[in-house]
Amino acid sequence: MTVSVHLDAVDGCARATTVTTDRGSYPTPAFMPVGTRGAVKHLTSADLEALGSDFVLCNTYHLMLRPGADVVGDLGGLHRFMDWNGHVLTDSGGYQVFSLEPKVDDDGAVFRSTYDGSLHRLTPETAVRTQELLGADIQMVLDICPGLPAPKEVLQAAVDRTAAWAARAKATHRRPDQSLFGIVQGGTHEGLRAESARRTAEIGFDGYGVGGLSVGESRAEMLPALAAAMAELPADVPRYLMGVGDPAGMVEAVALGIDMFDCVLPSRLARHGTLLTAAGRLNLTNARYATDEAPPDPSCPCSTCARWSRGYLRHLLQVREPSAGRLLTVHNVRWVIDLVRRMRAAIVEGTFESLRREVLAVWG
């Protein structure tokens, strides 16, 4: 089954949709917490349900190494493995082409395991088959994600190879209950972004990810490149900005028509003592909060803000109590989910531009 998109409301280029897959439906804009190894750090599937998450993103590279895609498949796929009834999206390993710098040729990439040093080859075909074993609702094609800044010839090579690999991935894809998304590359070069989007759309996918952004460039460089890609992508499928989760970046991307996001930002900041709040970042490691009885974010209804003070949470951080990371992650994930819900409500109400200005005033 290909995904279907029902357009619920538009406000400028921003849109609120309901996306239906073989598993069910989810509203957009949508944020996917990152559960690299089958779990969001410090959280369980029950926590994600309680926080109102519709989605979780899992990492193909890590899961194919530990515990192995065949093991996950034998245990019923990621949904049964994690006891998670919501949607799952698996990335392809393309980000690891950027972060781990494997040996890459036209056929694929050879990675060295971060766990035991063993060598593993990932191709467009094996990435599809691995993700079929993992059983995600949405899988991504294998792509080339160059770091930025990069010369035009490097970006062009990534566009060419990503397009070739996308065609091979589509030819390999077999599971009718799994959607396959193509990926647009091109760095910050607007012409290459448009070219990559056209070439990927010509192959035809159930949805499209825009990758290779938020990898070293400024937001001012990112947005024109994103706009160039969006102009070439079909509007009747989901459009997903990969790896972006900062509030300003998300609201600007929604203004351009993006539907979906993922990012490690909420959980990573939480582990280092920083909360996302209506007033901006709150660094609880600061000594000024040692005797602060106020809730972390008075406007937030999450269980952390409803029960504990800034002073108590700072104490947990100072003594390295493991519960500190959990409590802060609960808040940050809920805060980002609430933000995309506010974006959706504003689009429906026709007040998105007002919300955009409000977010940028704090986070811009």
Do 287 and 221 belong to one domain? no
Do 310 and 361 belong to one domain? yes
Report the number of distinct structural domains present in the chain.
Answer: 2
Report the relative pairing of strands 55-59 and 30-33 from DSSP bridges.
unpaired
pLDDT digits (tens, 9 = 90+) for 154-195: 999 999 999 999 999 999 999 999 999 999 999 999 999 999
Give the end of a domain, one of 228, 243, 263.
263
pLDDT above 60 (res 1): no
Report the relative pairing of strands 280-283 and 207-210 from DSSP bridges.
unpaired
User: Does this model's pTM top 0.85?
Assistant: yes
Do 62 and 192 belong to one domain? yes
> Both ends of the chain: CA-CA distance in Å?
40
List 11, 54, 91, 338, catalytic entry? 91
Do 247 and 274 belong to one domain? no
| Predicted local confidence at residue 225, as pLDDT | 98
Give the end of a domain, one of 263, 286, 310.
263
List 206, 262, 297, 338, catalytic entry? 262
Mean pLDDT across 236-262: 98
Confidence grade of residue 2 (pLDDT, cut at 50, 70, 90): confident
| Predicted local confidence at residue 51, as pLDDT | 97
**Rounded alpha-carbon distances, angstroms, from residue 253 to 36, 102, 183, 250, 288:** 24, 30, 16, 5, 35
Neighbours of 190 (CB within 10 A): 16
pLDDT above 90 (res 211): yes
Residue 19: partners with Cβ closer than 8 Å, 6 or more residues away: 3, 4, 5, 6, 25, 26, 27, 28, 30, 238, 259
Residue 110 maps to which CATH number?
A: 3.20.20.105
The residue range of the domain holding 311 is 265-364
pLDDT digits (tens, 9 = 90+) for 48-105: 999 999 999 999 999 999 999 999 999 999 999 999 999 999 999 878 877 888 899 9
Do 216 and 364 belong to one domain? no
Residue 337: partners with Cβ closer than 8 Å, 6 or more residues away: 31, 51, 52, 53
What is the enclosing helix (H) or strand (E) of 226?
A: helix 219-230
pLDDT digits (tens, 9 = 90+) for 314-332: 999 999 999 999 999 999 9
Do 54 and 81 belong to one domain? yes
Mark whether 11 is an active-site residue.
Answer: no
Mean pLDDT across 287-298: 98
Mark whether 107 is an active-site residue.
Answer: no
Neighbours of 167 (CB within 10 A): 17
